[in-house]
Structure 1
Amino acid sequence: MEATFIQRISYAAIAVSLWLFVVLLFPAGRALAEVRHTTIPDSTVVSASGSYKPYFPDIVKAGNGDLVVVYYWSESHAGGNGKIMMKRSTDDGVSWSAAQTVTDTTYDDRDPSIAALSDGTLLVSWFTYSGGVIDVRVIRSTDNGATWGSTVTVGTNMAWAATSSKIIELSSGDLLIPLYGPAPGQGYQQTTVVRSTDQGATWPSTTETVMGYIQGIHMVEQAIAELEDGHIRGLIRVSSADNLGYEANSYDYGATWGTPVKLDKKIHAPELFRIPGTDRIFQAWSEFQYPGGGRPVVVKIGDLSDPWNGSASRLLYSNRLTSDMGYSSTVLLDDGRLFTVYYDAHKQILGGTYSKLGNWEGDFGTKMNLAGMYQSSAITVTADMQYSDPNNSATGPKGALDGSIAYGSAAFKNATATPTSPATFMIDLQGNHTIGTIGILLKLGYAETADVQISTDGINWDNVQMYTNASMNEVDYKYFDCGKTIRFVKVTVTASFGWAGLNEIQLFELAP
């Protein structure tokens, strides 16, 4: 049982100005940076301390403008001794306060989520565990999380219930909390919602409605959002033969639900919300059994009329060395940026990544066949990374272009790079191309410092990426909002642990 969450914006609260609409669609200024890295967080929210590590974050913007993150603080993924902690940021995620305990009962307190109501009240929900699930609880703050009141228990008709996604406030004024647990008299888990009509003071079991149940599979850890008045959509994680997720819809404020429909992605920990002032639906999840390894955070933008079949999904954060990661939660900042938090058990952190709508709904580009272009002399490479291994034909300049991330399939300089004696690798595309994405993998598994630059003339260079003492295990991508016109791309390694190396460079070209 893990934590999931979603950043939901109640449709009733969507009273946005034309200014916000313009900011979202046409952001300007360097503060609204493109996604800089898909393997390196922009912000470290929480790091491990002693034997304790952070898991399963959820984020919300409080009424005073602070960002508030809650998370499970435990010795392991399901440690048996966890508690719910909180941090806040007053500068949109750049820096974070000291940790504060939200709740620490005699049980294992798991999978927290946090919601902000229209009156400024914060509600944290979680479930307790002690050899089995005990109950789902909710605690309230009326002062932006400075203090927390007494807890209330959520009613259910199931033998037990857990939760891993935040409460949502409906346009009708009611609240819904998503639960999952065993269907009565059945061996499989189902998803339900329980309603509060008094702003979360009580959650009667008599209000519980089944959201999704299919015999033969477990339906768990759903996320819900009100997309229009009365229309609630949910994304559901399942455990089945193919592990493909489901969606479910209600058009009467959650009183009844349609038959769940299977999707084409293995979604864990989904989140979704409607971008204010638009008909665009932000959807993210941690993708189970991802072909590249790990359980990366993936984003997909859909349209209100057809939320799932919108743009292609795209990586937000990845670490192929672990599947104990992800469980993203996203908040919309006042300047139009999105800030997404997630956990990475291998790095033992909660991290955060900035993005904006254009990063997810534009043309991402088609991967250029640099290896083929190099072999046919359609491009040229100028580099001092010319080491040739007689026992490995993949070593050499072509190794950085071949699509392989194997250690030996790379370009090396048989000398340690230093600021005064760097190693360089430059590609001349023999003409201008418009690039939507650039991917870089420095020397696999070893720390290097490097700059990535682009140019149209080989004289004037723009810095587009920097790495500082980065130990990389997969290709790291940077997304450009509107594309970059380039002819030359250059990687300069200025510090390396051992010989300087470049494992992979990838370019994705936008259609003319």
Structure 2
Amino acid sequence: MVVAQAAPGHVAYFPSAVLLADGRVLVAWREGEGHVRSGGRLVMAESSDGGESWSEPRVVVDGRWDDRDPMVVQLRGGDVLLSWFQIDWGVRPYECPGVLVARSEDGGTTWGDPVVVESRMVAETDEEWHGFRAGHVVAHGQILELPDGDLLAPIYGVFPGDACHSASVVRSTDGGRTWPAAGEIVLGRKPDREYLEPVLTLLPGGQVVALLRTDDEAELVRSDDNGFTWTDPEPSGLHASSSDTLTLSDGAVLVAYGDVSGQFNPGRPTVATVVADPLGRWDQDPRYVVLDAGQDTLDQANPAVVELPGDRLLIISYDIFTREIVGEVVPREQLNTVRGTTVGRHP
């Protein structure tokens, strides 16, 4: 399916999706002139019929800087949170003004003023890190609501003086209205290892799992006390980048990600798999379905996943060649039986 096509002169990137309590699927994404170093704005569309049709796209954030990586989640009380980060490409070194969270009390129609997710990574420094100002913080994964009502915002960035990214979570105890740096806990930080794009998953037994992108094989960290303490990172078995996860109604976890193993093509096709036992390694049952633009490119993936009624899974990605946000509704049993299927759009 085609969710939307970007406005002329723009390309659609980085979708996020959530199934709202009223049955609508809400999708947010970034539109910009290019993947990096270009102005970006955040756009939304919705479907009331399980993806059969979509509303006209509407711009919800278009700030002074490049607005990137929108993530949407609905809290148990009904409010919808939108998180994203910004990059100012107009200065050198480049600056990331911060990770922001806005709230909607009407199902995503209107949004309040954003608040900042604070972090100990952020610091006043003249130090440069690979073109960026050291001491910056960005984000990728959805905010997670815990059973006690606390929220965790996954972030990553570079501490001043470090050579690599670290990943952490910041806790909010007031429903996402404030995110103090005092509530930040590091998930992964090593002097010679990149920890990027943490994605959080709440398992049925209460364990919280974070999937961390690295230089090669993604790693997992786990918490059994609502995110206050975490295990050391361990291999996941997935060569995954730019992931999204969802705990399904039967307790399994749907994982969609950009596959960088080279198994399917030299680029980064979107791969999805159901992890039947998320308490173990996440590659114990590697059966995949692939959403792929059909050309070798690393500019793919950043998928979003939704569980629809009728045991159907909606997997959304983007196609830079058609400038579209695209999706595929996959019956659950297909992920259990099909291995390495390519849904190619461009031979």
* Match of residue 32, structure 2, among 53, 67, 74: 74
* Match of residue 238, structure 1, among 214, 218, 228: 214
Q: Does residue 331 in structure 1 map to residue 306 in structure 2?
A: yes
Secondary structure of the residue aligned to 1:45 is strand
- Percent of aligned pairs with the same amino acid: 29
- Once the two structures are TM-superposed, the CA of residue 289 in structure 1 deviates from its matched residue by 5.1
- Once the two structures are TM-superposed, the CA of residue 299 in structure 1 deviates from its matched residue by 1.8
Paired residues of 2:197 and 2:212 also in contact (CA < 8 A): yes
Paired residues of 2:167 and 2:189 also in contact (CA < 8 A): yes
Aligned equivalent of 2:257 = 285
Q: Does residue 97 in structure 1 map to residue 55 in structure 2?
A: yes
Secondary structure of the residue aligned to 2:238 is coil
Q: Does residue 300 in structure 1 map to residue 256 in structure 2?
A: no
- Once the two structures are TM-superposed, the CA of residue 125 in structure 1 deviates from its matched residue by 0.2
Give per-residue Cα distances to partners, 1:393-443, cap 9 Å, x unaligned: xxxxxxxxxxxxxxxxxxxxxxxxxxxxxxxxxxxxxxxxxxxx98899xx
Aligned equivalent of 1:205 = 181
Q: Which amino acid counterpart does residue 235 of structure 1 have in structure 2?
A: L
Q: Which amino acid counterpart does residue 253 of structure 2 have in structure 1?
A: I
* Match of residue 64, structure 2, among 99, 106, 116: 106
Q: Which amino acid counterpart does residue 156 of structure 2 have in structure 1?
A: Y
Paired residues of 1:174 and 1:197 also in contact (CA < 8 A): yes
Paired residues of 2:236 and 2:281 also in contact (CA < 8 A): no
The separation in 2 between residues aligned to 1:265 and 1:201, in whole angstroms, is 34
Matches within 5 A, 1:178-197: 178-197=154-173
- Once the two structures are TM-superposed, the CA of residue 166 in structure 1 deviates from its matched residue by 0.8
The separation in 2 between residues aligned to 1:132 and 1:125, in whole angstroms, is 18
- Cα 1:87–1:94 change in 2 (3 A) is same
Q: Does residue 124 in structure 1 map to residue 87 in structure 2?
A: no
Paired residues of 2:289 and 2:335 also in contact (CA < 8 A): no
Aligned equivalent of 2:132 = none
Matches within 5 A, 1:269-418: 269-276=242-249, 278-288=250-260, 290-291=262-263, 292-302=265-275, 303-321=277-295, 322-362=297-337, 364=338
The separation in 1 between residues aligned to 2:229 and 2:30, in whole angstroms, is 32
The separation in 1 between residues aligned to 2:308 and 2:36, in whole angstroms, is 32
Q: Give the total of aligned pairs.
A: 326
Secondary structure of the residue aligned to 1:218 is coil
* Consecutive unaligned residues in structure 2, runs of 5 or more: 89-93, 122-134
Paired residues of 1:170 and 1:253 also in contact (CA < 8 A): yes
Aligned equivalent of 2:2 = 44
The separation in 1 between residues aligned to 2:11 and 2:273, in whole angstroms, is 29
Mean CA deviation greater in 229-238 or 106-115: 229-238
Paired residues of 2:288 and 2:341 also in contact (CA < 8 A): no
Aligned equivalent of 1:152 = 115
Q: Please tell me the root mean square deviation across aligned C-alpha atoms, in Å.
A: 2.0
Secondary structure of the residue aligned to 1:222 is strand
Q: Which amino acid counterpart does residue 92 of structure 1 have in structure 2?
A: G
- Cα 1:305–1:218 change in 2 (3 A) is closer
- Cα 1:161–1:229 change in 2 (3 A) is farther
Paired residues of 1:227 and 1:273 also in contact (CA < 8 A): no
Paired residues of 2:69 and 2:140 also in contact (CA < 8 A): yes
The separation in 1 between residues aligned to 2:80 and 2:341, in whole angstroms, is 40
Paired residues of 1:290 and 1:296 also in contact (CA < 8 A): no
The separation in 2 between residues aligned to 1:438 and 1:281, in whole angstroms, is 20
Paired residues of 1:73 and 1:84 also in contact (CA < 8 A): yes
Paired residues of 2:246 and 2:305 also in contact (CA < 8 A): no
- Once the two structures are TM-superposed, the CA of residue 55 in structure 1 deviates from its matched residue by 0.3
TM-score when normalising by structure 2:
0.89
Secondary structure of the residue aligned to 1:294 is coil
Paired residues of 1:288 and 1:295 also in contact (CA < 8 A): yes
Paired residues of 2:12 and 2:29 also in contact (CA < 8 A): yes
* Consecutive unaligned residues in structure 1, runs of 5 or more: 1-42, 366-436, 442-470, 474-512
Q: Which amino acid counterpart does residue 258 of structure 1 have in structure 2?
A: T
- Once the two structures are TM-superposed, the CA of residue 194 in structure 1 deviates from its matched residue by 0.2
Paired residues of 1:109 and 1:127 also in contact (CA < 8 A): yes
Secondary structure of the residue aligned to 1:56 is strand
Q: Does residue 247 in structure 1 map to residue 220 in structure 2?
A: yes
Paired residues of 1:267 and 1:286 also in contact (CA < 8 A): yes
Aligned equivalent of 1:267 = 240
- Once the two structures are TM-superposed, the CA of residue 184 in structure 1 deviates from its matched residue by 4.6
* Match of residue 99, structure 2, among 136, 160, 163: 136
Q: Which amino acid counterpart does residue 252 of structure 1 have in structure 2?
A: D
Give per-residue Cα distances to partners, 1:11-40, cap 9 Å, x unaligned: xxxxxxxxxxxxxxxxxxxxxxxxxxxxxx
Select the structure of larger CA radius of gyration: 1
Secondary structure of the residue aligned to 2:214 is strand
Paired residues of 1:297 and 1:328 also in contact (CA < 8 A): yes
Aligned equivalent of 2:204 = 228
Moved over 4 A (4+): 437-441
Paired residues of 1:295 and 1:319 also in contact (CA < 8 A): no
The separation in 1 between residues aligned to 2:341 and 2:259, in whole angstroms, is 22
- Once the two structures are TM-superposed, the CA of residue 227 in structure 1 deviates from its matched residue by 0.7
Q: Which amino acid counterpart does residue 324 of structure 1 have in structure 2?
A: D
- Cα 1:359–1:80 change in 2 (3 A) is same
- Once the two structures are TM-superposed, the CA of residue 344 in structure 1 deviates from its matched residue by 1.5
- Cα 1:49–1:263 change in 2 (3 A) is same
The separation in 2 between residues aligned to 1:126 and 1:212, in whole angstroms, is 21
The separation in 1 between residues aligned to 2:254 and 2:281, in whole angstroms, is 9
The separation in 1 between residues aligned to 2:199 and 2:304, in whole angstroms, is 11
Paired residues of 2:120 and 2:184 also in contact (CA < 8 A): yes
Paired residues of 2:290 and 2:342 also in contact (CA < 8 A): no
Aligned equivalent of 2:128 = none
The separation in 1 between residues aligned to 2:342 and 2:186, in whole angstroms, is 44
TM-score when normalising by structure 1:
0.61
- Once the two structures are TM-superposed, the CA of residue 472 in structure 1 deviates from its matched residue by 4.4
